[in-house]
């Protein structure tokens, strides 16, 4: 998003391209395109700093999946346990469109450092939490930082390299991100077993500090200077941001308590859910109205079917990704009786296959510039993997759960790094920050549903089969939305036979439906891929927010609005 509200419409005196030259209307001046950025030490240090920054948010997305039972018990969170993840995902999703707009208005450098500082602050609050409420507040602050990190990293990469090459560099960052997400359960389990759960959060303090130092020293990017601070403030879409944040919060509140604290038919669930969905509709209408001069999510981003389809599939893929990351541990801990640390080790096939698969996928993307086949193959393979998970039970062999994870991870890897370039391909370069922020919002919005949907299915299915448990006390403890909360080896090992076997059996039946429903999400994504178009990936980079460098030839000498 740039100062102009509709950058795809060229103004009278706006530069245009002719035969590789930038031409000013009404002038004889022609200026050659600037040469490619030299990728020296500074460039690669920025990429390294972005990787470290991305790792912070990725690790915290999933690290609590194996450490949550211990945290819940220690702080006595009870029914509020779900806010450990939901507060994080809520703020993470809600702030991303705002941060995307702020990146255009104020530039990338100081916003990036502010975001990392906020995340580090939230980590410190979580680590030092003395109550459940304090932990939830810390997680909300962490989420603000994490949401900003997820967005700004992709924006800066988009500023530094062309769309055709972008996949390679996003792959580097997202590979580290994937390592963090995949290793989160393992790291969380090890920390809980060897030290205290507080180090799940304290570990971010030195890493965040190191990232801040690198960003301060090396992240120097161009930014607009032709407007005053008051003019910049006026560019922010306050109403749009309030609408999307409020709608996201309302929906999450409904998802958090629906089926657990209150039945889905309760007005306490229906009202916020309806308000949230209506709020999203109002938001979309407002963004297209004449009252919104500079939309936080420009409607023009979705006026081509490829970006629209990829946007929807980003949501579906993220839902499925977190579906796996949060419910495969349930199988290992509640069905097989693995410790949190062992469950993390048992999930290593996902990491060991998804990451190489993602790297290969972006190499293919950069080489051939084709993403549709990768998306189709990825979702088909992922569908197979999710379906096979439904066959896992307490009697499954090690080979089965290893191979099934490999299949799902292979499909995920083919999709992971190829969605953003496909979303950006039909859009103007000036829209990259807004596009990336909107895409990141949908990815984070999917995180919320990726935990809430399977948790609801699991809890409801458990209630259906709860009569199989002979012990009335245990049955009461797990029923009415509390099954997922207790789906851990600690709880299972506290039971004696035959109740222990009965609970495992009901957990297993409940998980089966969780995986079966996921197949429908995969199938929808497969169908939508057919509506994508193969848009050529640009090999040129034309941005006013790129890295400052003495070796970069300036395309224009009379642009006081850009700092060099």
- Rounded Cα distance, 315 and 337, in Å: 32
Q: In this predicted structure, what is the pLDDT of residue 118?
A: 94
* Cβ count near 388 (within 10 Å): 17
Measured CA distances, 381 to 176, 347, 371, 521, 525 (Å): 23, 18, 16, 13, 12
CA nearest neighbour of 103 among 296, 271, 335: 296
Measured CA distances, 105 to 6, 284, 474 (Å): 16, 22, 56
Residues 249/90, Cβ–Cβ less than 8 Å: yes
Q: In this predicted structure, what is the pLDDT of residue 511?
A: 93
Q: In this predicted structure, what is the pLDDT of residue 4?
A: 40
- Rounded Cα distance, 517 and 327, in Å: 13
Q: In this predicted structure, what is the pLDDT of residue 362?
A: 84
| Helix H or strand E encompassing 534 | none
Over its length of 564 residues, how does the chain's per-residue pLDDT go in tens digits? Answer: 433 444 443 333 344 443 333 333 333 333 344 444 556 788 888 888 888 877 877 777 677 767 777 888 888 887 677 788 878 878 888 888 888 888 888 888 888 899 999 999 999 999 999 998 999 999 999 989 988 887 888 888 877 887 777 777 877 877 787 777 767 777 887 888 888 889 889 988 998 898 899 888 888 776 666 777 777 788 888 999 999 999 988 988 888 777 667 777 888 889 999 999 999 999 999 998 888 888 888 888 888 999 999 999 999 999 999 899 889 999 999 999 888 778 878 988 987 888 888 888 888 888 888 899 999 999 999 999 999 999 999 999 999 999 999 999 999 999 988 898 899 888 887 787 788 888 888 888 888 788 888 988 998 898 888 888 888 888 888 888 788 878 888 888 888 888 899 889 999 999 999 999 999 999 999 999 999 999 888 776 665 555 555 434 333 333 344 443
- Rounded Cα distance, 541 and 555, in Å: 12
- Rounded Cα distance, 511 and 369, in Å: 39
* Percent of the chain as helix, strand, coil, to the nearest 5: 70, 5, 25
Residues 313/418, Cβ–Cβ less than 8 Å: no
Residues 81/109, Cβ–Cβ less than 8 Å: no
What 3 state SS string does 247-290 have? HHHHHHHHHHHECCCECCCCHHHHHHHHHHHHHHHHHHHHHCCC
- Rounded Cα distance, 480 and 24, in Å: 68
Q: In this predicted structure, what is the pLDDT of residue 401?
A: 94
Q: What is the DSSP letter of 7?
A: T
């Amino acid at each position: 998003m740039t100062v102009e509200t509709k950058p795809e419409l060229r103004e009278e005196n706006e530069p245009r391209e002719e035969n590789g030259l930038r031409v000013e209307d009404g002038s004889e001046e022609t200026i050659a395109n600037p040469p490619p950025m030299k990728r020296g030490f500074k460039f690669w240090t920025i990429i390294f700093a972005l990787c470290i920054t991305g790792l912070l948010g990725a690790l915290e997305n999933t690290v609590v999946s194996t450490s949550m039972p211990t945290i819940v018990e220690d702080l006595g969170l009870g029914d509020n346990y779900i806010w450990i993840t939901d507060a994080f995902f809520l703020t993470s999703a809600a702030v991303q469109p705002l941060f995307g707009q702020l990146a255009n208005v104020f530039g990338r450098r100081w916003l990036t450092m502010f975001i990392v500082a906020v995340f580090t602050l939230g980590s410190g609050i979580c680590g030092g939490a003395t109550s459940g409420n304090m932990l939830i507040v810390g997680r909300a602050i962490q989420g603000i930082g994490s949401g900003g990190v997820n967005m700004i990293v992709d924006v800066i990469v988009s500023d530094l390299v062309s769309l055709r090459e972008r996949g390679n560099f996003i792959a580097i960052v997202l590979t580290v991100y994937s390592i963090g997400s995949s290793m989160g359960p393992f790291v969380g389990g090890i920390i809980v077993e060897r030290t205290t759960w507080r180090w799940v959060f304290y570990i971010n303090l030195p890493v965040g500090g190191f990232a801040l130092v690198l960003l301060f020293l090396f992240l120097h990017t161009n930014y607009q200077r032709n407007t005053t601070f008051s003019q910049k403030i006026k560019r922010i879409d306050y109403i749009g941001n309030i609408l999307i944040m409020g709608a996201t919060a309302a929906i999450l509140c409904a998802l958090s308590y629906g089926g657990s604290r209150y039945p889905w038919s309760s007005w306490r669930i229906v009202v916020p859910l309806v308000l949230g969905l209506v709020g999203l509709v109002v938001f979309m209408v407002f963004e297209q109205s004449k009252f919104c001069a500079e939309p936080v999510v420009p409607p023009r981003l979705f006026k081509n079917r490829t970006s629209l389809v990829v946007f929807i599939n980003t949501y579906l893929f993220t839902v499925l990704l977190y579906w796996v990351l949060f419910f495969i541990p349930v199988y290992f801990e509640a069905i097989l009786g693995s410790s949190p640390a062992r469950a993390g080790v048992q999930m290593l096939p996902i990491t060991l296959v998804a990451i190489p698969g993602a790297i290969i996928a972006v190499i293919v993307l950069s080489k051939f510039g084709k993403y549709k086949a990768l998306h189709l193959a990825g979702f088909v393979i992922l569908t197979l993997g999710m379906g096979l998970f439904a066959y896992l039970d307490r009697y499954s062999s090690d080979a089965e759960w290893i191979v099934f994870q490999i299949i799902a991870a292979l499909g995920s890897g083919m999709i992971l790094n190829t969605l953003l370039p496909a979303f950006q391909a039909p859009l103007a370069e000036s829209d990259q920050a807004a596009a990336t922020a909107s895409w990141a919002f949908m990815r984070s919005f999917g995180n919320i549903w990726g935990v809430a949907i399977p948790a609801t299915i699991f809890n409801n299915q458990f209630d259906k089969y709860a009569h199989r448990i002979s012990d009335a006390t245990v049955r009461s403890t797990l029923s009415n939305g509390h099954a997922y909360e207790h789906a851990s080896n600690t709880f299972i090992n506290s039971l004696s036979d035959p109740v222990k076997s009965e609970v495992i059996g009901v957990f297993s039946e409940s998980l089966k439906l969780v995986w079966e429903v996921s197949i429908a999400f995969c199938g929808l994504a497969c169908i939508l891929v057919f509506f994508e178009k193969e848009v050529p990936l640009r090999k040129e980079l034309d941005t006013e927010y790129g890295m400052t460098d003495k070796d970069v030839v300036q395309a224009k000498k009379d642009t006081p609005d850009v700092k060099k």
